[in-house]
Chain A
Amino acid sequence: MSGKSKLGKALFLIVIVVYVAIVLGILLTVILNSVSKGWYSGLLPKTLTTEWYSYVAQDHDVPQLLYVTFVVAIVDVVVSLLIAFPASYALARTDFKGKGVLLSLFLLPMIVPPMAYGLPLAMLCYKFRLAGKIIGTIIVNLVPIVPFMILVLMPFIEQVGTNLESAAKMLGAKRGTIFRRVLIPLTRPGILTAGILSLVKSISMFDLTYLVAGGKSQTIVVALYADAYAAGARPPQSVDALAVIYFFIAMACLLISLRFVSPTQMVFKVK
């Protein structure tokens, strides 16, 4: 029996070590390749250079890419909080006919593949001339974020007892005041968690953005894909240089967010 658990431990270690080695290998080669010159063989590049970063700076409007990436992410987080918080509150606190149906409807965008609803959504964006503008990118990215937020926020609101709200009501507070002065402070951890998780998610959101973004409304991940796709058009090291810029942004957000949330919260929480 102890042999069996040793076997389990060994399997666990092997999978984790192999996995970590591959991920580290990928990240390190991307970083090294982006500062290397003529690294076609051998363990490490022989000459180092920063020329690929200058190349990227000429090839792309990097400040614009960063600007779009952050504006889209932040606006999406704020707007989806405004939509999701009241809805989560109503779903957590009340019971009504058809609540189950409504809840599944809200969560449906999470189980339908982005391409299936994203393509018609993108067509509508082209029809209404929203595609290619930042607003179009913001709109399409709302679709997966709002359901995710409802899912994260509901348990936090359920945890806050109704007593304090009733007390505030008895003391004559209006609904708006209760929301502002009682409910929001009490659910701040939930709001913070949902906001941070959505921010991290929206920075790396690819599929939907790719369908509507172009030119000045591209986010950094879409530009990266476009570069990698047109591999022959530019030196591969310059693609890696853009990848490194994206990598540092995503990692910075991840590291900040891990101060507030745990990795298991970053994926769909199974209840």
Chain B
Amino acid sequence: MRAALTRPKAGAMALLVPAVVFILLLFLYPFGYGLYMSLTDPGGAFSLGNYTRFFQDARDFRTIGVTLGISVPVTLIAVALAVPLAYHMRRGVPGERLISFFLIVPVTLGTVLISEGMLTFMGPNGWLNQLIMALGLSKTPVRFTHNYAGVAISVGLQGFPYAFLMLLGYISGINPDLEKASQMLGANKWQTFWKVLFPLMVPGIAIAFCLNFVMAFSVFPSAVLLGQPSGPQRVIAYAAYQWAFEKFNFNAAAAISMIMAVIELVVIAFILAWRSKMYKGASIVGKG
């Protein structure tokens, strides 16, 4: 049972002070500093030059498309696979603990180890290509590294378990009585899923999509290790990094950071709009 909330006293407000100081000092201040840096030239005078430079420099400007071209399809596929699988597992399946263990492993290991390992496993002489050639699917090794496929697979391997575990937690929280009620009223499984459960899952799907997208959009080790980071897989986060730490132009780098944040927020706003269109407070009774 949820405890009744009380009006705050000064003491309770004081408890928030460390967290407020933390967020001001380590998040809002750096963000404001980044915004300020992005709007000034190296001499400190106000300038929009960092932004105009980014949009005029074809090599930089195209990183937006490159990054979206990786993160959007990969996130869509990860979430689209995760929804039916989490739905299937909502009441538990045999070997559930083992399955969730294997899913959490890549999340724990992180993108660096997975990308590094993929170089050998999916390389021209790796096990995967040995298997493909032994099965006769291809006569020559298939290229999974240093191209789009490598980056997409690496990002997807990270994203899928994340989306899956997130949605599993969410879907198993939906009140099972609703499903029973729907079936008792004569709906088949398909109708129950689309008309009853799916609308209730929408908020969970929206959040899973947003968080996955944030990860996929800003991650760069996969692109650097498994793609061609100076060419077709130069992602926006890597461009920002290069401006800051290879060309030591913090102002240009800050502008790219701000552009990243804006793109990110636009995508999230888009998802939240989809969510409110699909979901009109239906689960007030829906969540057990």
Residues of A within 8 A of B (CB): 1, 4-5, 8-9, 11-12, 15-16, 19-20, 22-27, 29-30, 33, 40-41, 43, 82-84, 86-87, 89-91, 93-96, 102, 105-106, 108-117, 119-124, 139-140, 142-143, 146, 150, 158, 160-162, 175, 200, 204-207, 211, 221, 224-225, 228-229, 236, 239-240, 243, 246-247, 250-251, 253-254, 258, 262-270
Contacts and interface: CB of A to CB of B under 8 A. Distances in A.
B260 interface: yes
Contact of A270 (B7, B113, B161, B204): B204
B238 to A, nearest CB: 9
Contacts of B31: 112, 116-117, 120
Given A90-B12, A139-B26, A29 B120 contact: yes
Contacts of A119: 34, 240-241, 244, 253-254, 256-257
Q: For the complex of A and B, list the 4 residue pairs with the smallest distance between their C-beta atoms, beginning with the closest.
A: A120-B34, A113-B218, A87-B19, A204-B110
A30 B22 contact: no
A114 to B, nearest CB: 6
Given A211-B245, A266-B165, 20 more contacts: A20-B99, A82-B18, A90-B12, A93-B5, A95-B8, A96-B7, A96-B13, A105-B23, A116-B34, A116-B260, A121-B26, A124-B29, A161-B3, A204-B108, A206-B112, A228-B116, A243-B116, A258-B104, A263-B165, A270-B208
B192 to A, nearest CB: 11
B217 to A, nearest CB: 6
Contacts of A204: 108-110
Interface string B18-39: 1110110011111101100100
B141 to A, nearest CB: 11
Contacts of A82: 18
A162 B4 contact: yes
Contacts of A207: 218-220, 237
A270 B105 contact: no
Contact of B108 (A115, A254, A264): A254
A12 B88 contact: yes
Contact of A94 (B7, B28, B110): B7
B15 to A, nearest CB: 4
Interface stretch (B40-48, B50-58, B166-174, B274-282): B166-174
Interface string B239-259: 011001100001001101110
B140 interface: no
Contact of B162 (A161, A205, A239, A267): A267
B15 A90 contact: yes
Given A23-B105, A105-B23, A124-B30, A30 B188 contact: no
Interface residues of B, number: 103
Contacts of A109: 23, 27
Nearest to A262: B100
B264 interface: yes
A150 B221 CA distance: 28
A266 B109 CA distance: 13
Contacts of B203: 270
B210 A111 contact: yes
Nearest to A87: B19
A120 B3 contact: no
B106 interface: yes
B2 interface: yes
B117 A11 contact: no
A115 B237 contact: yes
Which of A200, A228, A265: most chain B Cβ within 10 A? A228
B207 A270 contact: yes
B225 A113 contact: no
Which of B107, B120, B208: most chain A Cβ within 10 A? B120
B6 A224 contact: no
A228 B22 contact: no
Contacts of B126: 29
Nearest to A5: B189
A225 B104 contact: no
B178 interface: no
B233 interface: no
Contacts of B165: 263-264, 266-267
Contacts of A225: 112, 221, 225
B148 interface: no
A158 B100 contact: no
A121 B30 contact: yes
Nearest to B118: A26
Given A9-B88, A102-B16, A113 B217 contact: yes
A105 B170 CA distance: 23
Nearest to A120: B34
Which of A4, A9, A115: most chain B Cβ within 10 A? A115
B127 interface: yes
Nearest to A82: B18
A160 B1 CA distance: 9
A69 to B, nearest CB: 12
